[in-house]
Each structure stands twice: as C-alpha cells, then as structure tokens.
Amino acid sequence: MKHKKLAAAVVTGTFCATLVLFSCSKSDKNDDSQGGGNQSDTVLVNLGANVISPAFNQLATATAGLETVVTAFTNFPTSGSLLAMKNAFKDAYKAWEGVSAYQFGPMLDQSLTTHFTNSFPADTAIIKSNIAGASYTMDGLGNFAAQGFPALDYLLFAYNDNYVMARFTTDANATGAKNYLKALAGALKTKAAAVANAWSATGGNYVDKFSKATGVDAGSSLSQLLNAFVQDFDVTLQNYKIGIPIGKYGPNTLPISPEKVEAYYSGYSVALLIAQLQAIQTMYLGGNGGGIDDKVAATTAKNNGLPLNDAIKNQINTLLAKLQTLQDPLSAAVQNNITTVNDTYTEVRKLTVLLKADMSSALGVKISFQDDDGD
C-alpha cells in the first residue's frame, strides 16, 4: 500500500514537472517573441531608444535628403545640383555606417542589409545594362551589386564631372540613367524610412520588443545585437573593407586589390571606416546611458591582465587612432603605403578577437548561434 502511494506520487510528480518544464521551456530560434517576459533591461532600453533608433532616424533623414537632391538634379542637371548630390551621398553613406551593425529584426524585414545596400565593388556592367533599358527588379536576384551606395558611388564619382553630367544629359541613355539614379535613391529612402518607423515608439515600436527580449538565448536582443554587430565587424569591416583590398582574404585578390575598397570611386573609404567604428564605439559605451560596456564590466573576465572592458575600450581607441593616420583614398594607400594599412589590419584583428571570443564568452552569448540540444 505504501509503495502504491509512493509510486503514484512519483509518477504524478514527474508528470507535473514535465508539464511545467515543457510549458516554460524556451522556444526555438527565429522566434523573436521570446525572452524574459515583461521585465525590460535598462541597457537594452537605452540602446534601443537613445542609440539605435536615433541612428535609423539619421539614416532616414539623410537618405530622404539624398533623394530630394537627386530629384532636383534629374529635373535640372547643373554642376551645382551635382555637387549637392555628391555631398548628400556622402552624408547618407556615413549614416549607413551608423546602422550597419544592427542587421537584425526590422533591417532584415526590409532587406536593408549589406547585401543589398553596400555590396562593393559595384557591378558596373549590370548598372550600365539597367540604364540602357534592360528590365530589372531592384532587389531581384543578381542585382544586389548594382544598387545601393556602391552603385551611386560609381554613377556620381567614377568619372570627372563633365562626363558625369553628360551621362545624365546628352548621352543616348540619359533618361535611363536619370531614372536609374532616382530608383537607387528612392529604394534607399523607402527602406530606411520603413526601418526607422519599425523601430520608432510611435510606429512599429520594435524598440519596446527589443528592450523586453532579455537573456542571452537565441532570439534574445543581446544575442541578436551581438551576433549582428560582431559579424558586421568581422566580415564586413575586417575582411571586405580591408582584408580583400590588401590581399589577405580569399584566393582571388592576390597580391593586392586596391579597386575592391569600399567607396572606391569617391575615395571616401577611410572616412566611412571611421564612421563605422565610431558608431560601434557609441553602441558599446551606450552614449550617455548604459551600454554593452556595463555588462562586460560586471563580469570578472580579463584579457592579458586587464579587465576585459578596459581592453576592449582601449583597443577601440587604438584602432580609431590608427584609422585616423590613414589617408583617403584608401586605394592609393593600399598601392603606395601598404605597411600602414597592414598595421591597421593587425589592430582590426585584435579587436575582432576581443569582440568575437572574449566579449561574447564573458556575456554568455553564442556567436553564430544555432539552436541545439544543449548538454
């Protein structure tokens, strides 16, 4: 009798435990509704409201400004409106660097990604054929390198002003060129506006969702943010913006490929690198509020005897200083002064290691997260 009761108790107990566990067990990847319920995280609140959302507003404003001057130029192509367009392009490109670390959630939803917005070098053959009247879809397969900032970089800066003016005025395909220019600027403006709205508290209010998806599991905001930001730094900045031009990355770039830098035609590469790193620094430090630094400082993690947080902050500053010694155009530096660029790459690599290995590990976030059975 005693055993019967015990058996019943154990069976019911195990069953209840199982039920409880399954009902509160964490859901799967790609489900960003999960996270720690309604408790929000002050760092996430600050980053969302005061760092990330404003960066998207900045991009929305800059791309809207670009679109306005592009329209003005296509209506009345003058050297003055061409210059206005070039300046607006640089502002917008810089604003893009301010958000490229945030490629998750709304940016993915709107295809405002490096792939569609900043695939360099631009595919000039496709751009020319699109201008000449080939039918194309902006985000269609194969058009990724014929759009975004690299395409504008090519159209506005590849040749001297006279030639550029001619392309949009006297050339046989001038109308096609004007239309394509408008389409490029229009696509950027539309996507940027949509993302800014999706994040905005008065719009899609992703900022609220972002602040509440706490914890470090797949789908949590911290995991999404750090994965996106580390990938942006590791792949886009380290490999594409510097590694490929100096011939360190991939078999097809040897010995050097200066023409593969970002913003090759406008020669604006270093300025953009600095903008990207400054944006990362702002995000890491959290502006005037809590940032990733506070989370790292709360751990005991060390690097080479220094608290990890100090090591990261120092390395960001070291790299910034190094970037500031480089001079635009970067392509010329790659050709004539490769030692400085190589040195910069070494400093980039050090920061990559600190972010990808040390920081992620200290915060318990898995980089390249894939859901699994755990252990």
How far apart are the C-alpha atoms of 105 and 93, rounded to whole Å? 21
Are the CB atoms for 269 and 162 separated by under 8 Å?
Answer: no
Stretch that binds other proteins, among 100-108, 125-133, 189-197, 352-360 (CB under 8 A): 352-360
**Which residues 20-49 are close enough to bind other proteins by CB under 8 A?**
20-21, 24-26, 28, 35-36, 39, 41
Six token digits for residue 354: 């600190």
Stretch that binds other proteins, among 62-70, 114-122, 148-156, 211-219 (CB under 8 A): 211-219
Q: Does 254 bind other proteins (CB under 8 A)?
A: yes
Please state at what angle helix 79-99 crosses helix 148-157, rounded to 10 degrees. Answer: 150
Q: How many chain residues touch other proteins (CB under 8 A)?
A: 68
Q: Is 112 exposed, middle or buried (0-12, 13-18, 19+ CB in 10 A)?
A: buried
Omega prior to 258 cis, within 30 of 0: no
Q: Which of 120, 199, 249, 265 binds other proteins (CB under 8 A)?
A: 249
Nearer to other proteins by C-beta: 11 or 134? 11
Stretch that binds other proteins, among 53-61, 143-151, 184-192, 359-367 (CB under 8 A): 359-367
What are the φ/ψ torsions at residue 320 (nearest 5 degrees)?
A: -60, -45
- The residues that bridge with 307 in the sheet, in sequence order, are 302
Q: Does 182 bind other proteins (CB under 8 A)?
A: no
Placement of tokens 């999404």 in the chain: 224
Q: Does 243 bind other proteins (CB under 8 A)?
A: yes
Torsion, CA 248, CA 302, CA 273, CA 326, rounded to 10 = -70
Q: Do you know the residue count of the chain?
A: 375
Binding letters toward other proteins, positions 127-146, x by CB under 8 A? --------------------
- Which residues contribute to the site for other proteins (CB under 8 A)? 3-4, 6-7, 10-11, 13-14, 17-18, 20-21, 24-26, 28, 35-36, 39, 41, 214-217, 220, 234, 239, 243, 247-251, 253-255, 298-305, 308, 311, 352-354, 356-358, 360-375
